[in-house]
Homo-oligomer: A and B are copies of this chain.
Amino acid sequence: MQGRKIRMLTETVQSFLNRGAAVNLQKLLSKSHVADVALVFRALTTDERIALFSVVHGADSRASLLEALDPRIQKELIRSIPQDDAARIVECMPHDDAADLLGHLDESLSNTLLERMHGADSIQVEGLLEYEPDTAGGIMATDFVALTEDTPASDAIDVLRTSTDVDMVFYLYVVNEFGHLVGVVSLRNLVTVPPSTKLKKIMESRVIRVRPDTDQEEVASLVARYNFLAIPVVDESNTLMGIVTVDDIIDVIQEEAQEDILRMAGAGDDLEATRRVGDRFFARLPWVLLTILGGIGSLLILESVAGLFYQNMLLVLFLPLLFMVSAVVGVQSATFVVQILSSGMLPHGSAKSLLMREWIVGTGIGLLTGVVSGLVAGMVGDWRVALLLGLAVALSISWSAILGAGLPLLMRAANQDPAIATGPFTKVIISLSALGIYCSFLSLLHVIAGS
């Protein structure tokens, strides 16, 4: 439903652009929500984007529009206009958004714009550029309302009335004479007390806070757990430096989820960074090379028992089934365990029981696959081979489950991100070890039968 609305808006914009109907476009843009316009920009070609952006007048309006756009599109547009105009626009943006934008530009252009910006803005933005983009410092807003403990509620409301450049105000932060964070007052508390009440009477002094170098994922998990609308960022001396608001947290959660999914597939970790075919190729290459190595390893394992295959081609015909099912079972177990770990649903000390239960599930699936394989093999070959083959398949698949479940637990024990254990690396290890078990089990029984 929402998709249709954006599609219609895009078509209207395109037809106005084709006709050069600037006034119509301005009217349409002023009536539309900036978030909708941002989606329209995504759907346009580069030339259309530049044409549409040139219709927007005034550094302020251009800044609000740019804030809502993807970094890639911001870059295109900033490059398409004179540098002085660009500097005026960046000045009008909140400092954190300005720093994000400059962080995505080439260093030389970023420096040029900083030089041409108003001194005070440029210093603030340069300070924010110091922080890693995926930390609290990298996503915090520096426009917040901080007042002293002795401020009466009525004065605090007056401050709100005049601070129009601060968006998303729900909390006022209370600081002492050194700028150290000592409490927080919700806007709701503020309006529901007598006007002369001092902030220190109504503030909550147990404030959960983060450091500028706190990873954005940890900031997001705090905000999600405590249902905050914003969380303050303080330096080592407890001086309030900025706040991270819930709308940025939603972006972080969506970004991290996308990153997890791309990593699981071994397809890089950032859509933006892999727009170009070449970047896409190189983002995937390491996993492909690893998998080729795994394939060559498999080749060596198979070669060592090639004699068996000449005697019984049936053992070859079941290789795809073995590969496919063991990979599916291993990835199912790995993914399940990773999600259990990341949701904090695993009671302390019960990793062993989790592993055991995944192994039971895997053994069930292995037995089922083994029986089916044995029956199929029995119908086309002799039943003694079928029995061995079924057992070998069952064993390999049951092992895949325990390996899939065990790897993320090992990763966690080694203080690594367990999610690594759902990627192509794990698939290669699972395939290799399933093949190894299959081949050695078969050759072992061959020896017994041959003796």
Contacts and interface: CB of A to CB of B under 8 A. Distances in A.
B267 A336 contact: yes
Contacts of A414: none
B267 A295 contact: no
Contacts of A369: 288, 292
A56 interface: no
Nearest to A46: B347
B281 A299 contact: no
A251 B223 CA distance: 11
7 contacts: A43-B348, A170-B170, A274-B336, A284-B329, A295-B373, A303-B317, A310-B313
8 closest residue pairs by CB, A with B: A295-B321, A298-B320, A257-B257, A265-B335, A227-B247, A267-B332, A161-B192, A299-B317
Nearest to A306: B313
Nearest to A187: B187
Interface string A247-280: 1011101100110111011111001001001001
Nearest to A419: B261
A320 B319 contact: yes
A335 B271 contact: no
A160 B187 contact: no
A336 B262 contact: yes
A137 interface: no
- Would you call the interface of chain A mostly helix, strand, loop, or mixed? helix
Contacts of A23: none
A343 interface: yes
A197 to B, nearest CB: 13
A7 B348 contact: yes
A95 interface: no
Among A227, A262, A277: residue with most chain B CB under 10 A: A227
Among A274, A309, A313, A339: residue with most chain B CB under 10 A: A339
Contacts of A247: 224, 227
B376 A296 contact: yes
Contact of A368 (B191, B246, B288, B323): B288
Given A296-B376, A303-B317, A306-B317, 13 more contacts: A36-B225, A191-B191, A229-B246, A261-B261, A265-B335, A267-B332, A277-B357, A280-B361, A281-B365, A288-B369, A291-B325, A302-B319, A319-B319
A289 to B, nearest CB: 8
Contact of A318 (B226, B299, B323, B340): B299
A45 B350 CA distance: 10
Contacts of A295: 318, 320-322, 324-325, 373
Contacts of A170: 170, 187, 229
A54 to B, nearest CB: 19
Interface string A329-343: 101111110011001
